[in-house]
Amino acid sequence: MAGDLETTDSGGEDRYVKVWDVIEGIPAGSVLNYGEVARLAGFPGRARMVGMALGRAPKSRQLPWHRVVNAQGKISFPEGSPKAKTQRRLLEAEGVEFVDDTIDLERFSPQRAMDRELWGPP
């Protein structure tokens, strides 16, 4: 058919699929920053695109959007905003710790998620 140029779910935002894939792969209890997601998705230097992709993600994907924070380990929504509170609550429910509104990105990296699974929290 001349029709099947794209799948039912795509609405022209196909350029974000790789980003969504990466985010979907972040294990519970760990976080990545925008720049890191961009790099893993094959778009080094395009951190802003990740924020864009998150905002435009189809609901059908149900991405763990809360596992993406900024390079300082902080939530990139205005402090005290409903979105920020929700994100923090979701992360803390997974065992991510905040110290002074900041997450230790080294400690809660996906790389260390494996360690946590084998050894438990330090």
Question: Which residue of 17, 18, 27, 46 would you call a contact of DNA, by CB under 7 A?
Answer: 46
Asked if residue 115 lies in contact with residue 95, where contact means CB atoms within 8 angstroms, the answer is: no
User: For residue 89, what are its two tokens?
Assistant: 């609550």
**86 and 80 Cβ atoms separated by less than 8 Å:** no
The verdict on 52 binding DNA (CB under 7 A) reads yes
Q: Is 70 in the site for DNA (CB under 7 A)?
A: yes
CA dihedral 104, 52, 48, 74 (to 10 degrees): -20
Q: Which of 6, 9, 10, 15 binds DNA (CB under 7 A)?
A: 15
Q: In this structure, are residues 37 and 68 in contact, taking their beta carbons and an 8 Å threshold? A: yes
The 81-120 contact track toward DNA, x by CB under 7 A, reads: ------x---------------------------------
Which position among 48, 89, 92, 115 is part of the footprint of DNA (CB under 7 A)?
Answer: 48
Number of residues interacting with DNA: please give it, by CB under 7 A: 28
